[in-house]
Amino acid sequence: MSWSTSQGGSPVTWFDPGRGLLPVLWSPPDGLAFRHRTSVRPRGRPDSKEPTLFDVVIKGGTVVDGTGGDSYSADVGICDGRIVDIGKLSGPAAQTVDADGALVTPGWVDVHTHYDGQATWDDALEPSASNGVTTLVMGNCGVGFAPVRPGDHDALIDLMEGVEDIPGSALSAGMPWGSWETFGEYLDLLDQRSYAVDIAAQIAHGAVRFYVMGERGAANEDATDEDIAAMSSIIAEAMASGAVGFSTSRTIGHKAKSGRPVPGTFAPDEELLAFAGALRSAGHGVFEAIVAGTIGSLERLGGERAKPIDELPLLEAVAHASGRPVTFTVAQLFEDPDHWRAVLDAAARANLNGAVLRPQVIPRSVTIMTSLDTYHLFMGRPTYQKIADLPLAERVAEMRRPEVRRAILGESSAADGVNDFSTLIVELFGLALPLTFRLCDPVDYEPRLDESVYAQAVAAGVDPFEYMFDLLLADEGTAFYALLGSNFVNGTLDVCREMLLDPNTVTGLGDAGAHVNLISDCSASTFHLTHWARDRSQGERLPLELLVHKLSEANAELYGFGDRGAVSLGKRADLNVIDFEGLRIRPPELRYDLPTGVSRILQPAEGYLATLVHGEVTRRFDADTGRRSGRLVRGAPAA
């Protein structure tokens, strides 16, 4: 893999930024069968016989074009951020990417992220950019930062910190509060910035309800007809300003840091159907929902009011009322391992009746992380709390002292019986040791059950809690472990394979930008290729072409991004060049680079030889080039 720049004079001087495009006929060489029969070439000077100049040519790659069709060998020519030729190209180029032996794919479209705060201070948008993402959608799960009245931002920070585990101190210090009030003004702020990837935003139910109803909204009181009309008007204005959708959360598992469920959690059908009407009037956008029961019955929190299957009639009604796609999270849960199948079947039936329901799935188990510097089993115990603020090296040394070890292991958590988030997570870690695994290089997200912490402890004749205590001190306290729960009920990811094969599903749920010290599924996009197309050993794999389609064109179509998602003529040159055999997910690492110095888990990938956003190389050889060709994508009705 190599890079080159054209030598000699200045061949671009006679092309201006508004150069025309001229369609010409092109026939593929013998033996090469694919659908691209016309090329769109930049027009040169009328009096010139010089060959066409491309901004970038990707040479000799295997194109997996995102449509789901067969892969093929071809060069890809790019001008002005668009794909203008595909085939055997001989014209000069300002920049050439030698893709011999590599895949050339569309850039990934990630439809489930939470960069709503980070996008106001950061332009790199890691960890998405290092995992092949070129377009992302934020504003999911009913939480966001607009609209917001002056002085009310603490309530939205409390909400985002509780639901998405993004440190409130970083949001408070990092975001330019006071720079916007309406959703349109928030988009205008983002529109002034440039990024390593394109971004798009949905308007969130929680923010809208609090803006209109204040404390009544935060307390989840019923909205009046006037409230609903006001909220519908705000949503309509947001859609007209460029929102790409509306999101809501209906699970009691989503709570603000202060403990209250997201505003709108208990909204009646009439409220959501009114908002569906606003989307119908807008003529574009997606309705995104986290339905009741998505993460289980949650009896410890008082119990969900419904199961996901019970929410399907409402989602179908929203789809019909809005005329827009509805996407919602689906996962396999321990308490009802086959429930997800009933949900997908119900969605399929609804779609036969004219709805557009797109269950959103993840290609692996949600990865709940534990390490000594994040959440862990012993963090609530009194003796540990005395040393919790020591630097990591000193803390590890203290925990290795026999008397400290005995004291911590002999205690219970100080907050036993309390239902706050940290306490519930600690309890979960204790119960889930049979499904907790080491995340070492190479990272394995479908391990055998006999590799779990519990199984290894039993095999060694050691108490599992003692075994976990010692594991947390490995690698001088930097080792990470993962609880694999959802989608891993039977000790395999077979259910994920079924979900990905379902023609109605879309892939997402990486939650990039959120759960910064608990969940690291930002690498899920890369995992599609490394695991499902290449490495899986515990069952059948999946076709590479299907996986690329799910990651690109299918997600682009969901959100109406018709200008991207496929390697085809006229599309945006949002592309990945991938060393398929060398592609790998790196073990997680902790960085202290959020505002105020708070930490987050990152998990970059290796093997992305180049990523292009709008025809500019934003990453090469897994490194950021510093190019920032990503911009805000505003939603609009289809032409």
Express each pLDDT in 279-326 by its tens digit: 999 999 999 999 999 999 999 899 999 999 999 999 999 999 999 999
CA distances from 364 to 265, 297, 499, 500, 521 (A): 27, 21, 10, 10, 9
Same domain, 311 and 401: no
Same domain, 207 and 313: yes
Same domain, 332 and 216: yes
> In this structure, are strands 357-361 and 38-42 parallel, antiparallel, or unpaired?
unpaired
Same domain, 256 and 177: yes
**609 within a domain of the structure (yes/no):** no
Say what angle helices 339-352 and 494-501 make with each other, to 10 degrees: 0
Structure tokens at 586: 């790196």
Question: How do residues 539-572 score in pLDDT, each as one tens digit?
Answer: 999 999 999 999 999 999 999 999 999 999 999 9
**425 within a domain of the structure (yes/no):** yes
Exposed e or buried b per residue across 487-526, where buried means at least 16 C-beta atoms within 10 angstroms of its C-beta:
bbbebbbbbbbebbebeebbbbbbbbbbbbbbbbbbbbbb
Tell me the mean pLDDT per 10 residues along the chain, length 639: 32 26 28 33 44 90 98 98 97 96 98 98 97 98 98 97 96 98 98 98 98 97 98 98 98 96 98 98 98 95 96 98 98 96 98 98 97 97 97 98 98 69 88 96 96 98 98 97 95 98 97 95 97 97 98 98 98 98 97 97 96 98 98 92
> Which pLDDT score, from 0 to 100, does residue 39 have?
44
Last residue of a domain, which of 528, 561, 594? Answer: 561
Structural domain count of the chain: 3
Which CATH number characterizes residue 113's domain?
3.20.20.140
**31 within a domain of the structure (yes/no):** yes
**579 within a domain of the structure (yes/no):** no
Same domain, 214 and 318: yes
Last residue of a domain, which of 449, 484, 519? Answer: 484
**165 within a domain of the structure (yes/no):** yes
The alpha-helical segments, DSSP class H, found in 69-204 are 153-164, 168-174, 183-191
Same domain, 415 and 480: yes
Q: Which range marks the domain in which residue 17 is found?
A: 3-101
pTM over 0.75: yes
Same domain, 472 and 540: no
Closest to 639 (Cα-Cα) out of 569, 552, 563, 572 = 563
Same domain, 62 and 144: no
Same domain, 361 and 430: no
* Four-point Cα dihedral 258, 264, 265, 271, nearest 10: 170
Which CATH number characterizes residue 66's domain?
2.30.40
Same domain, 291 and 356: yes
**629 within a domain of the structure (yes/no):** no
**612 within a domain of the structure (yes/no):** no
Same domain, 384 and 525: no
Same domain, 159 and 287: yes
> Which pLDDT score, from 0 to 100, does residue 19 have?
26
Q: Which residue bears the tokens 């996962």? A: 331
**337 within a domain of the structure (yes/no):** yes
> Which pLDDT score, from 0 to 100, does residue 91 have?
85
> Which pLDDT score, from 0 to 100, does residue 415 have?
63
Last residue of a domain, which of 466, 484, 502? Answer: 484
